[in-house]
């Protein structure tokens, strides 16, 4: 009797048929390009089967070797941050009504999910002071890339997109991946090595009739606050280019929203809004624009809209009002090839914002600013340490520079020895900043956490970088 695998429903006859269809005689033929010396021909030394209890015990033993990232010992940010998540957020976002929902193609059976996404769009539009927000993108990096392509679609016959020299290097890589096939030229604008601010003279010199959009970021990747947003908007709009603004949503409790200084398109990272740091994802791309038909029709992703009956008693309904994806009738004219919406992350963000409310977001913004500036001031008091090394005003992240021959690698290793995950090393990304690290301080860090960080950095600095 032929053996049938309990979970792989392929019989020998099916296997032969599949091999014949691709012109192969055996499964080995599929791997003929792998040299014989690299093929394993002996039985794998796998352990015997275990009971569920034994497997659970082993997994817990291995998990116990990990160090929790929620104890205030992590100062790593670079765009993704450690924030406190109220218990109610995952409790509601994890309900089966949300978790089991996918793309809301059938509006009549997806009213709950559609309404939640509509509320998500509305909450963010209010915070950002922008008219239209879509129901999410993959993450902020792809949001920046989609924004660049969008500016070129709106500003036809233009093919340049200007970005600050301090842009997140990973964003810059993704931006090139998206724009190169479209023939878009991405150009960096110089920045002041002390303040970090965009060079307005360099911006003006590069603003020609081919520029479709200008990207500005505040707070920037290096943590400083770009204080010239009004001037940058004036220069961009003066050449009929679009202004794209990248922001941190939680900073808007105390900083100006992008809609207030004339941003035409906005992008942001939504991971901060209730989603944990989990091995790089899932992240959440926030994307919006002003109420201009030319822009709205070129908006990537999807929009959820609201309608109602014509006569009283009014009944409301929700539906996808804009979804120009390639798998729909748009085909090659699609404005985006995003195929899976970050709906659950968007729901989580909506719940998080609803729980905090305006007062809560303002308090978080103030708390982060106070703690980050406290940390920078304490670090700057150490001999041979400069913080912030670039920029005059910071909010959450800031660059720390080490002098007197002390390397960022030495500081990093010393912090790890004391159970602290330091900032991101910037030596390769921004060599002009010397031996430096990008630290991130949020509301979860206590004064004791910060003081321990400063004390540990001070210890390695005092020893001249020597590590035992």
pLDDT in the model for residue 409: 95
Q: Tell me, yes or no, whether 383 and 343 share the same domain.
A: no
Range of the domain at 371: 358-462
In a domain, residue 38? The reply is no
What is the distance between the alpha carbons of residues 10 and 366, in angstroms, rounded to a whole number? 60
Strand partners, 133: 288
What DSSP string describes 388-454? SSS-S-BSSEEEEEE-TT--HHHHHHHHHHTT-B--EE-TTT-GGG-SEEEEE--TT--HHHHHHHH
Do 347 and 438 fall within a single domain? no
Task: Give the CA distances from residue 378 to residues 47, 169, 221, 393, 424, in Å, rounded to whole numbers and listed in that order.
Answer: 52, 28, 22, 15, 19
Are 309 and 410 in the same domain? no
Question: Of 249, 298, 254, 300, which is closest to residue 275 (Cα–Cα)?
Answer: 249
**Can you give the CATH number for the domain in which 369 is found?**
3.90.1150.10
CB atoms within 10 A of CB 316: 11
Domain identity same for 223 and 116: yes
- Max CA pair span of the chain: 81
Does the residue 324 lie in any domain?
Answer: yes
Assess if residue 416 is contained within a domain. Answer: yes
User: pLDDT tens digit string along 195-218?
Assistant: 999 999 999 999 999 999 999 999
Tokens (6 digits) for 102: 């996918």
Residue 207 domain flag: yes
Tokens matching residue 135: 């129901």
Contact 286, 299 (CB under 8 A): no
Do 273 and 383 lie in a common domain? Answer: no
140, 277: one domain? yes
Here the tokens at position 136 are 């999410």
Radius of gyration of the chain (CA): 26
* Interval 414-431 mean pLDDT: 94
Q: Are 269 and 248 in contact (CB under 8 A)?
A: yes
Final residue in a domain of this structure, among 295, 318, 353 = 353
Is there a domain that residue 419 lies in?
Answer: yes
What is the pTM assigned to this prediction? 0.86
Strand partners, 242: 213
Q: What percent of the chain has pLDDT over 90?
A: 71
Where do we find the tokens 């890589």?
A: 173
- The C-alpha atoms of residue 37 and residue 75 are separated, in whole angstroms, by 46
DSSP structural state of residue 314: P
Query: Higher pLDDT residue, 101 or 17?
Result: 17
Which CATH number characterizes residue 124's domain?
Answer: 3.40.640.10
CA–centroid distance for 428 within its chain? 21
| Average pLDDT score over residue span 39-67 | 90
Whether residue 341 is contained in a domain is answered as: yes
E strand segments, 37-196: 132-133, 160-164, 185-189
97 found inside a domain: yes
**Does 13 fall in a domain?**
no
* Count of structural domains within the chain: 2
pLDDT value at position 147?
97
Single out the residue in 353, 369, 392 at which a domain terminates. 353
Q: Are residues 427 and 312 in the same domain?
A: no
pLDDT (tens digit per residue) in 273-288:
999 988 767 899 999 9
Q: Are residues 321 and 395 in the same domain?
A: no
**Residue 337 in contact with residue 325, Cβ under 8 Å?**
yes
Query: What is the pLDDT averaged over residues 46-55?
Result: 91
C-alpha 6/C-alpha 175 separation (Å) is 45
- List pLDDT tens digits, range 296-344: 999 988 889 999 998 888 899 998 887 755 455 556 667 776 656 678 8
Whether the predicted pLDDT of 177 surpasses 90: yes
DSSP 349: H
Does one domain contain both 421 and 347?
A: no
Residues 287, 164 share a domain: yes
Q: How confident is the model at residue 71 (pLDDT cuts 50, 70, 90)?
A: confident
Q: Are residues 423 and 339 in the same domain?
A: no
Q: How many CB atoms lie within 10 A of CB 292?
A: 14
**Tokens encoding 397:** 């992240």
Last residue of a domain, one of 353, 388, 411: 353
Q: What's the distance, CA 316 to chain centroid?
A: 34
Same domain for 148 and 103: yes
Q: What value does the mean pLDDT take over residues 137-160?
A: 95
Average pLDDT over residues 383-405: 95
Mean pLDDT of 422-440: 95
């Amino acid at each position: 009797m032929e053996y049938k695998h309990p979970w792989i429903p392929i019989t020998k006859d099916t296997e032969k048929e599949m091999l014949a269809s691709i012109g192969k005689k055996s499964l080995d033929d599929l791997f003929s390009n792998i040299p014989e010396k690299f093929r394993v021909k002996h039985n794998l030394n796998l352990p015997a089967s275990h009971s569920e209890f034994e497997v659970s015990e082993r997994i817990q033993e291995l998990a116990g070797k990990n160090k929790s990232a929620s104890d205030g010992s992590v100062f790593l940010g670079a765009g993704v941050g450690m924030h406190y998540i109220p218990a109610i957020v995952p409790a509601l976002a994890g309900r089966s009504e949300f978790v089991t929902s996918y793309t809301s193609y059938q509006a009549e059976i997806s009213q709950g999910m559609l309404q939640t996404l509509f509320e998500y769009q509305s909450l963010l539009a209010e915070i950002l002071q922008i008219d239209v927000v879509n129901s999410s993108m993959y993450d902020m990096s792809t949001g920046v890339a989609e924004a660049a392509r969008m500016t070129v679609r709106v500003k036809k016959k233009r093919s340049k997109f200007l970005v600050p020299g301090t842009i997140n290097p990973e964003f810059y890589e993704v931006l090139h991946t998206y724009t190169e096939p479209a023939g878009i030229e991405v150009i960096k604008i110089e920045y002041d090595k002390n303040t970090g601010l965009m060079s307005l003279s360099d911006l003006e010199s590069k603003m020609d009739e081919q520029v479709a959009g200008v990207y500005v970021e505040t707070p920037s990747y290096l943590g400083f606050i770009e204080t010239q947003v009004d001037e940058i908007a004036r220069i961009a709009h003066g050449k009929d280019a679009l202004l794209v603004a990248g922001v941190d949503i939680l900073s808007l409790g105390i900083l100006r929203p992008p809609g207030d200084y004339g941003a035409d398109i906005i992008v942001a990272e939504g991971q901060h809004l209730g989603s944990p740091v989990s091995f790089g994802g899932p992240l959440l791309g926030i994307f919006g624009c002003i109420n201009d038909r030319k822009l709205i029709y070129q908006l990537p992703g999807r929009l959820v809209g609201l309608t109602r009956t014509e006569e009283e008693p009014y009944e409301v309904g929700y539906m996808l009002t804009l979804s120009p994806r390639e798998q729909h009738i748009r085909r090659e004219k699609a404005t985006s090839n995003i195929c899976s919406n970050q709906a659950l992350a968007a729901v989580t963000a909506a719940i998080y914002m609803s729980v905090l409310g305006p007062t809560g977001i303002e308090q978080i913004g103030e708390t982060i600013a106070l703690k980050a500036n406290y940390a920078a001031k304490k670090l700057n008091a150490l001999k041979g340490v400069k913080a912030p090394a670039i920029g005059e005003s910071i909010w959450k992240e800031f660059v720390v520079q080490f002098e007197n021959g002390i390397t960022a690698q030495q500081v990093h290793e010393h912090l790890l020895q004391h159970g602290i995950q330091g900032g991101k090393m910037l030596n390769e990304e921004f060599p002009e900043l010397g031996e430096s690290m990008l630290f991130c301080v949020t509301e979860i860090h206590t004064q004791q956490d910060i003081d321990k960080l400063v004390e540990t950095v001070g210890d390695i600095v005092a020893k001249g970088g020597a590590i035992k």
